[in-house]
Chains A and B, each alone.
Chain A
Amino acid sequence: MSRQTTIAAGAMTEGGAEPILSVRDLTKHFPIKKGIFGRVGGAVRAVDGVSFDVAAGETLAVVGESGCGKSTTGRAILRLIEPTSGSVRFNGQDVLALGAGELRALRRQLQIVFQDPFSSLNPRMSIGAIVREGLTIHGLAEGAAADARVKQLLEEVGLRPEYASRYPHEFSGGQRQRVGIARALSVEPKFIVCDEPVSALDVSVQAQVVNLLQDLQRDRGLSYLFIAHDLSIVEHIADRVAVMYLGHIVELAPVQAMYSRPIMPYTQALLSAVPAPEPGVKRERILLAGDVPSPANPPSGCVFHPRCQHPARDAACAAIVPPLEEKAPGHWAACIKQPPSVVSWEAQRAAGGTNPPDFYLPVSALHRSADGAPRAHAFTPPR
C-alpha cells in the first residue's frame, strides 16, 4: 500500500522556506528473482514512499539502522540507482525526467561523498588527477588553470598542495575522506549527499572531517543530506533530522525537538540506546525486542508495530498505515497513538483498536529531559 501525495512542495522545510531539493513518495523496490529463469517472486521494499524537503544552506540528516533504506534514498536522489517511482525536484528541475546529458549537468550541482575512503578513490590515479577529473568532464578549467584550481581545492580541505602528485594509498583514512570532499567540491556543487562520511574514521579524525564539512557549508552556503547512523554526530551537525525505519520516514523534525521530545516510539528507543559518556549515570533504556523485520516482507500497518513499546499499541497499529503527519509545527511523525492524528479514534476502533491514543514520552530513557514544547530552531537560510 503506498500513500497518496498529500504533502505540498515546500511544506516540509523549516518555516516554509523554498526547498532546493524536494522528494515526494520516492520508492525503490529491488525485485527478488527466483529460479533459473529469473522469475520475479517479490520485492525488497528498500525505500517505500519517502517524502522530504531540504532548504538551501540546510543540513538534513537521515538516520536509521542498517537496511532502513537511508543510503538507497541518497543514491536514488542522484539517480546512481534508478528509483522505482516518486518524484525528485532539484532547484525546480524534475531530476527523474532528465536525459543523460542533462543529468551530467545536474551532477555539477549535486554531488556525493561516500562512506568508505578506501574504495571510493581510484588507486591508480594521483589525488591531483582524482580532483581534476570533475573539472575536465564539466569543462570548468584546463591546463595550468586546472592545476591551480586543484591545489586551491586541496588547501581548502586541509591537504598540502604538493600532495597532488601522490596516490591514495599514501594517505590515512581521514586524509582520503578529505580528497573525496575536494573531489565533490571541484565542480562547485550546491548540494552534497554525504553518505556516512565519517563512519569509518577514528574519533579524533572524525571530528576534523565534521568541522571541515561545517566550515565549507558556512563559507559556500552548501546544503547537505547527511546520511548517518551515529546519533551524536547527527545532533552536532544537522539542522533537521529524518528517522527511517524499514524504508519509511517515521519522524522528521528540527534537531532539538527530535532529541528532546521524540514522538515516534522507534525514535525514542533509538535515542535511549545511544551509550552516554557519563559513567555512573544510569539511564533507563528502552530495549527493543528482536530484530528489524525483512524489508521483503514488512509488517502490515505500522512497520514498527511488532517491536513497539507504546503502551497504547493495539490491533489498529497492525491494520492502519500511519501517515507521516505534522504533530507540532515542523515536527512530523508517523504514529496513530501519539495525538494529534488524522486517524480518528473511531477509525482506529473500527480497525480493531482497543486503546485510545495517549501521548507517551519516556523522559527517563532520553539523554536530556524534555523541555516542554519543541523550541523554535535557530535556522536561517542564507540569502
Chain B
Amino acid sequence: MTAPPLLELDDLHTFFYTDTGVARSVDGVSFSVGAGETVGVVGESGCGKSVTALSILRLVRAPGRIEPGSAIRFEGKDLMTLDEGEMQHIRGNRIAMVFQEPMTALNPVFTVGEQIAEVARIHGGMSRKEARAKAVEMLTLVGIPAPEQRAGEYPHQLSGGMRQRVVIAMALVMNPALIIADEPTTALDVTIQAQILELMADLTRRLGTSILLITHDLGVVAENCSRVIVMYAGEVVEEATAVELFGRAHMPYTEGLLGAMPRVGGESERLATIPGTVPPPTAWPAGCRFRDRCPYSWDRCEREHPPLYQIGAGHTSRCHLAEEPEHRNHPHPPLAAQRGASAA
C-alpha cells in the first residue's frame, strides 16, 4: 500500500430526510479501490450499495444528503470540496457509470451513435465529425457487429445485451480511470451476462480501468473481482479478497449469504436461510445490526456496536466473534426465528 489508492471513501454518511424519519442509508462507509483493480460490493436490497455508488458521483438528490465529515478522495482530490462545474468534469471524464437497466440509461429519441458522440463533444471537445468517428470506434471496441450501421439505430432497435454494450461504450469514451457498474448484468439473460462480463474483464485488461462492481450476485463477484466488500444495513460488514471471502467468510451474514445460494453442482438437500429481514434504515438497532438474524449472537452484540476488526491480512469483519470466537461453538436459533412465525 505505497501509492495512494485511486478512490478512497472515508466515513461516508448519506442520509435521506423523509417524512417517516431520517433514513441512514449509508452510515459510515470506508473503502478504497486501487488503480486497475476490480472491486465488488455485494449485499441485498436496501443495504446501501447503490446509494454509495451515487454518493461517489455526488448524484444524491434531496431529500438525500451526503453528511458533513464524509470524504471521497479520488486521484488526490476530495470530491466533496469540488463545485458542480468541476464535478461535471469528473463525471464522464474520470469516473463513468453503467446502470442496471440500459433502456433507461439511453435516450429513446436519439440514435446510439449521436448519444456516444455527444459525450465526446461535451467532455472531449471534439468536432461533430471527430465525435461521429469516435462513436463508431467505441462501438467497435465493445464488439458490436456492423458498428457504422448500428450507430444510426435507436435504442429500441437493439437487444438488451447490445444496449448494455452501448452504455459501456458511452462510459469508455473519455477513457475514465474508474467505472462504477451498478448491477450491470442483472437485467440480462445468463448467456448475455457472460458476454458482457467477458467484455468488461477484457476492457480492464486492455485499458487498465478500475471497476467498482455493485451486485447482489455472488457468482458474478467470484468470477470478476479481486476484492469484495460486503454491505449490510448501511455499513461495510466484511472485506476480503475474493478467494478469502468465499473460502473463509467470517461475518455470520456473509456465511448466511453464501449458504443461501444454491450452486450448480452443489449437493445440499436444503438451502440455509437467514431468518427475519433487514431492519428499516430509519431505525437501525443499537449494537450489532445483524444480531436478530444471527445464530451466534450473545449479550455483547446487543450492548456494543461492533467495529471492523482486522482478522487477517486485508480481511476485516464487523463481528465480535473476532474477539470471542468461542461463541461460534454455540449456535442457536436466531432471535428473529424464535419470535414465532418467521417474517420473510
Interface size, chain B (Cβ < 8 Å): 53
Residue A274 CB within 8 A of the other chain: yes
Known: A65-B190, A273-B194, A276-B219. A204 touches B343 (CB 8 A): no
Shortest CB–CB separation between residue B191 and chain A, in angstroms? 5
Q: Which of B6-14, B21-29, B81-89, B254-262 is the contact stretch?
A: B254-262
Contacts of A204 in B (CB 8 A): 44, 256-257, 260, 273-274
Q: Are B189 and A229 in contact (CB under 8 A)?
A: yes
Query: Using an 8 Å CB-CB cutoff, how does the interface string of A64-88 with B read, 1 for contact, 0 for none?
Result: 0110000000000000000000000
Q: Which residue of B lies closest to A280 (CB)?
A: B243
Q: Are B270 and A211 in contact (CB under 8 A)?
A: yes
Query: Using an 8 Å CB-CB cutoff, how does the interface string of B261-277 with A read, 1 for contact, 0 for none?
Result: 11111100011111101
How many residue pairs link A and B with beta carbons under 8 A? The number is 149
Neighbour of B222 across the interface among A174, A272, A276, CB < 8 A: A276
Residue A279 CB within 8 A of the other chain: yes
Contacts of A206 in B (CB 8 A): 260
Bound form: Cα–Cα A155–B342 in Å: 10
Residue A287 CB within 8 A of the other chain: yes
Q: Are B270 and A158 in contact (CB under 8 A)?
A: no
Known: A204-B273, A274-B190. A210 touches B262 (CB 8 A): yes
Residue B289 CB within 8 A of the other chain: no
Contacts of B257 in A (CB 8 A): 203-204
Residue B137 CB within 8 A of the other chain: no
Interface residues on A, range: 35 or more
Q: Are B344 and A287 in contact (CB under 8 A)?
A: no
Shortest CB–CB separation between residue B295 and chain A, in angstroms? 13
Residue B68 CB within 8 A of the other chain: no
Q: Are A277 and B222 in contact (CB under 8 A)?
A: yes
Contacts of B45 in A (CB 8 A): 173, 202
Residue A232 CB within 8 A of the other chain: yes
Residue A209 CB within 8 A of the other chain: yes
Residue B217 CB within 8 A of the other chain: yes
Residues from 43 to 80 in A contacting B, C-beta threshold 8 Å: 65-66
Q: Are B273 and A158 in contact (CB under 8 A)?
A: no
Residue B197 CB within 8 A of the other chain: yes
Q: Which residue of B lies closest to A172 (CB)?
A: B277
Residue B175 CB within 8 A of the other chain: no
Bound form: Cα–Cα A313–B262 in Å: 34
Residue B177 CB within 8 A of the other chain: no
Q: Which residue of B lies closest to A290 (CB)?
A: B145
Neighbour of B191 across the interface among A65, A177, A202, A278, CB < 8 A: A65
Residue B107 CB within 8 A of the other chain: no
Q: Are A235 and B344 in contact (CB under 8 A)?
A: no
Query: Using an 8 Å CB-CB cutoff, how does the interface string of B167-210 with A read, 1 for contact, 0 for none?
Result: 00000000000000000000001111111011000000000000
Residue B216 CB within 8 A of the other chain: yes
Residue A315 CB within 8 A of the other chain: no
Bound form: Cα–Cα A272–B194 in Å: 9
Neighbour of B341 across the interface among A158, A173, A211, CB < 8 A: A158
Residues from 170 to 187 in A contacting B, C-beta threshold 8 Å: 172-175, 177-178
Q: What residues make up the interface of A, taking CB atoms closer than 8 Å to B?
A: 65-66, 155, 158-161, 172-175, 177-178, 202-211, 214, 229, 231-233, 235-236, 259, 269-280, 285, 287-288, 290-292, 367-368
- Given contacts A204-B44, A273-B194, A275-B220, list 18 more A-B pairs with CB under 8 A: A159-B341, A160-B340, A174-B344, A175-B344, A178-B344, A203-B44, A203-B257, A203-B261, A232-B262, A259-B265, A273-B193, A277-B246, A279-B222, A279-B243, A279-B245, A285-B194, A292-B159, A368-B265
